[in-house]
């Protein structure tokens, strides 16, 4: 199943990267005479009410979704790594402040919190990225804090401290590297859910605004025509599903690979 997930992800990434070479149309190219055409050789995913080629819009929308997931998770990991490692290594009052702050964020459902932040900033792609990143960093802060707390009293940390290494060097060179494996696994698992969350924000009108070819917004555009022109909402929805399933399957594979105990392997 991990191979299946990897194939899903790799195939969609290739489509997104080579979108310019795979289609002769532009994502916002109007052609009214071809409006609402069903899937065909000329338009594999059909067209929308403006005659735009949906295959083109879907693969360009996939590029946007992957970019958003990369930016959001990079920001979340950087914030979570800084706060989590500081809290876990130093402990005391700093640890208490960071953990109570994360508890405040965990008190709200992630999608609801992202909606509130996105609505406050205004509907746009950049606002959606900021909103989702704000809701995602606490989980990384807590995870990395736990890893750091488990490592800070090991002998190699005591040895580095006895040699005069500063706290910053100990954290960066000796403690954080032990957090890489679980962080990579969590990143892979979270990528699909970030894409799904941004698609949800776009679906309710808080994400990228028209004429941006974002997958969630395209599902929203086509939902009112779903009984007559099923292809409009169906193909963007399928790509969202493939991305989420692909990242989940590959993330489960990486989790079993990095921690054999989870797959029943005796070591």
Q: What is the pLDDT of residues 29-84, one digit of tens each?
A: 888 888 888 999 889 999 998 889 999 999 999 999 999 999 999 999 999 888 88
Q: Is 100 exposed, middle or buried (0-12, 13-18, 19+ CB in 10 A)?
A: exposed
On whether the CB atoms of residues 160 and 174 are closer than 8 A, the answer is yes
Nearby residues of 157 by Cβ (< 8 Å), 6 or more positions away = 151, 170, 174, 175
Q: What is the 3-state secondary structure (H, E, C) of 221-249?
A: HHHCCCCCCCHHHHHHHHHHHHHHHHHHH
The residue among 94 and 156 whose pLDDT is bigger is 94
Q: What radius of gyration do the chain's Cα atoms show? A: 22
pLDDT given at position 59: 92
On whether the CB atoms of residues 246 and 9 are closer than 8 A, the answer is yes
Give 177-200 pLDDT, tens digit per residue. Answer: 777 778 888 888 899 899 999 999
* Whole-number Å distance between alpha carbons of 62 and 194: 13
Domains, the chain, with CATH or none: 2-15+54-263 (1.10.3720.10)
- What is the mean pLDDT of the segment spanning 236-242? 92
* Whole-number Å distance between alpha carbons of 163 and 174: 13
Q: Which of 37-51, 123-137, 171-185, 197-211 has the lowest mean pLDDT?
A: 171-185
Phi–psi pair at 226, nearest 5 degrees: -60, -30
pTM of the model: 0.83
* Whole-number Å distance between alpha carbons of 147 and 99: 14
State both tokens at 60: 């360009």
């Amino acid at each position: 199943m991990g191979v299946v997930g990897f194939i899903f992800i790799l195939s969609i990434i290739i489509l997104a990267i080579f979108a310019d070479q795979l289609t002769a149309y532009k994502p916002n190219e109007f052609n009214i005479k071809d409006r609402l055409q069903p899937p065909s050789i000329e338009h594999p995913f059909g067209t929308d009410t403006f005659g735009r080629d949906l295959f083109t819009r879907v693969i360009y929308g996939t590029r946007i979704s992957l970019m958003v997931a990369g930016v959001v998770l990079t920001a979340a990991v950087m914030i979570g790594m800084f706060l989590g490692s500081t809290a876990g290594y130093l402990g005391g009052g700093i640890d208490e402040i960071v953990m109570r702050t994360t508890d405040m964020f965990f008190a709200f459902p992630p999608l609801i919190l992202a909606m509130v932040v996105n609505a406050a900033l205004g509907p746009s792609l950049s606002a959606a990225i900021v909103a989702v990143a704000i809701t995602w960093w606490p989980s990384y802060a807590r995870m990395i804090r736990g890893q750091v707390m488990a490592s800070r009293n090991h002998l190699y940390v005591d040895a580095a401290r006895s040699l005069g290494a500063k706290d910053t060097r100990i954290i960066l060179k000796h403690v954080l590297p032990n957090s890489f494996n679980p962080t990579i696994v969590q990143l892979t698992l979270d990528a699909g859910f970030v894409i799904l969350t941004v698609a949800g924000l776009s679906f309710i009108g808080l994400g990228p605004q028209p004429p941006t070819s974002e997958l969630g917004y395209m599902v929203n555009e086509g939902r009112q025509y779903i009984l007559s022109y099923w292809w409009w909402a169906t193909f963007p929805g399928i790509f969202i599903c493939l991305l989420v399933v692909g990242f989940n399957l590959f993330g489960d594979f990486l989790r079993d690979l990095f921690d054999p105990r989870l797959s029943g392997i005796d070591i």
